[in-house]
Structure 1
Amino acid sequence: MSRIAARFAALKEQGRGALIPFLEAYDPDPATSMAILRGMPGAGADLIEIGVPFTDPMADGPTVQRAGQRGLKAGATLAGALAMVRDFRAEDDATPVVLMGYFNPIMSYGVDRFCTDAAASGVDGVIVVDVPPEESDMLAPQSAAAGIDMIRLVAPTTGDARLPVVLNASSGFVYYVAITGITGTRSASVADLATAIPRVRAHTDLPIAIGFGVRTPAQAADAVRVADGAVVASALIEKLASTLDAQGRATSGTVRAVLDDVRALAEAVRSARG
């Protein structure tokens, strides 16, 4: 059983949902990013999503774009993100790690080489936002052979005819995009989620995590009441950015501030189902 499947199975046994915090690799520098990554499980992260900075992040809102720019300025590469996971695995062999990004860096790295190196580094899943199921033969066979889950995005605009196409090509879990548009710009209503998630569940047995608009502990709690996980990205990046100095460098409080927010989110998620 993969780490992702094992973690969701364990959480189901416990009767609770998953908190999936996000960090951008190398934001604002490699050491700070690594310290946040290492601290996330202890702060309550059940799975961790790592963004791979890219120069043309079409699905990212301004907050994540700025984080990616800081990461690129600090020297982030796909190889660097893999090295972060490899270093993380030296201390944590249980927490699932998912890379989120775009196909161009993978193509430049080499698809076969990427899948081999990602698996060896301890990556459990990938979200490649610009590779639809119709074009998945560029990556899916190699990732499956390497034991890496291909996690697909489902949006409110994904119709009933389209859902099986997307979900049949998915593994690990389903990432439900709670809003239409780019990340971090607004939030979905509880009523919308309560209607949308059962529609997705009718087509898959995979766990469903809600992202793109989950910002607060209360919203994370709402998400895991109707789904299996809550992904929080922009709010954590904004907290990180608020601690940087005038030159955009980390301060003594940067790591602690982000992890404190992860703890607050984790507490809300863990108590959401009473």
Structure 2
Amino acid sequence: MTTRIDTRFAELAPQNRAALVTFVMAGDPDLAASLEILKALPSAGADLIEIGMPFTDPMADGPAIQAAGLRALKAGTTLVKTLALVAEFRKSDQATPIVLMGYYNPIYIHGVDKFLTEAKAAGVDGLIVVDLPPEEDSELCLPALAAGLAFIRLATPTTDAARLPAVLANTSGFVYYVSITGITGAATPEASQVSAAVRRLKQHTDLPVAVGFGVKNAANAAAIAAVTDAVVVGSALVEAVRMSLDPNGKATAATVGAVADLVGTLAGGVRSAVRVAAE
């Protein structure tokens, strides 16, 4: 199984640079603005796109992404509308990898087989479902792989040597390394610690390693891009959305540009990084 994710990392390898992975919440601040934001991301410098599936109990998310999810839910965003958003994006972009990120409950309610069929048809390439541990692989991970979707697992600073094989067993696409202990957007990762963690992961997997949680600006992005295969930015982007809204929480003429401009700055940081091999 080769997905757009595999293709994109293969394209970047000869360039010896990390990928920029951008996270945005589906339907934030509304579905129309969300679609325009998505369309703007690739040309601004995003190599892969993670799209959050809004959920009422986002336990791994910090305040910024929680607020984005609430804005999206208030705007009427559902799982079905999230898939429709991806399908609409695919009408003009067949190359950029799309990963849906969220929680299992909405997928379970929708029906796993139905969800996987519809996600694949919409143009989704992979899934990150943060509340399904490896012990529950039969619930979604294995069916997703059978359907041709990558299933991306999270590793953390507390994932020890005994746990790591289980985490990596059915992972595909890339490994998402959570660079800090805690919720999204809580702190800034330390490059030297990230480098050591990436080297450890690379001893156990040939998959690309993406590092996220806490990257806020071009300097952060450059430091992390030097030591890993991909840099993930989420909270800073959803904050850019929030800061662009009018007093009633509605999109303004500045909303899409605010996100695209930040992505451009982050992409510049990633592309400026001097790579250090994580062998």
- Report SS of the residue matched to 1:50: strand
Counterparts of 2:168 and 2:219, CA distance in 1: 28
Counterparts of 1:88 and 1:34, CA distance in 2: 7
Specify the alignment match of 1:208 in structure 2.
209
Specify the alignment match of 1:134 in structure 2.
135
1:220 to partner: Cα distance: 1.0
Deviations 1:137-157 (A, max 9, x none): 001222112100000000000
Specify the alignment match of 1:220 in structure 2.
221
**Equivalent residues in 2 for 1:86-235, closer than 5 Å:** 86-235=87-236
Counterparts of 2:57 and 2:116, CA distance in 1: 22
Amino acid at match of 2:86: V
Counterparts of 1:13 and 1:82, CA distance in 2: 33
Counterparts of 1:57 and 1:140, CA distance in 2: 20
Counterparts of 1:195 and 1:87, CA distance in 2: 40
Specify the alignment match of 2:64 in structure 1.
63
Counterparts of 1:202 and 1:224, CA distance in 2: 19
1:92 to partner: Cα distance: 0.5
Query: Can you give the 5+ residue segments of structure 2 that lack an aligned partner in the other structure?
Result: none
Query: Can you give the 5+ residue segments of structure 1 that lack an aligned partner in the other structure?
Result: none
Counterparts of 2:267 and 2:17, CA distance in 1: 11
1:222 to partner: Cα distance: 1.3
TM-score by length of 1: 0.98
Counterparts of 1:214 and 1:179, CA distance in 2: 11
TM-score by length of 2: 0.97
**Segments of 4+ moved more than 6 angstroms:** none
Deviations 1:243-265 (A, max 9, x none): 11111011111111110000111
Superposed CA RMSD: 0.8
Specify the alignment match of 1:83 in structure 2.
84
Specify the alignment match of 1:14 in structure 2.
15
What is the number of residues matched between the two proteins? 274
1:273 to partner: Cα distance: 2.5
Counterparts of 2:81 and 2:122, CA distance in 1: 11
Counterparts of 1:224 and 1:12, CA distance in 2: 13
Counterparts of 1:188 and 1:144, CA distance in 2: 31
Counterparts of 1:253 and 1:3, CA distance in 2: 31
Specify the alignment match of 1:34 in structure 2.
35
Specify the alignment match of 1:4 in structure 2.
5
Deviations 1:87-115 (A, max 9, x none): 11111110000000000000011000000
Counterparts of 1:155 and 1:191, CA distance in 2: 15
Counterparts of 1:137 and 1:224, CA distance in 2: 34
Counterparts of 1:24 and 1:140, CA distance in 2: 22
- Report SS of the residue matched to 1:226: coil
**What fraction of aligned residue pairs are identical, expressed as a percent?**
56
Counterparts of 2:163 and 2:214, CA distance in 1: 23
Query: Residues 192 and 255 (structure 1 numbering): CA distance in 2 closer, same or farther, change over 3 Å?
Result: same
Amino acid at match of 2:274: R
Counterparts of 1:21 and 1:177, CA distance in 2: 15
- Report SS of the residue matched to 2:170: coil
Deviations 1:192-216 (A, max 9, x none): 1121110111110000000011111
CA contact (8 A) 2:62 2:186 kept: yes
- Report SS of the residue matched to 1:98: strand
Amino acid at match of 1:148: L
Deviations 1:104-135 (A, max 9, x none): 00001100000000000000000000000001
CA contact (8 A) 2:142 2:170 kept: no
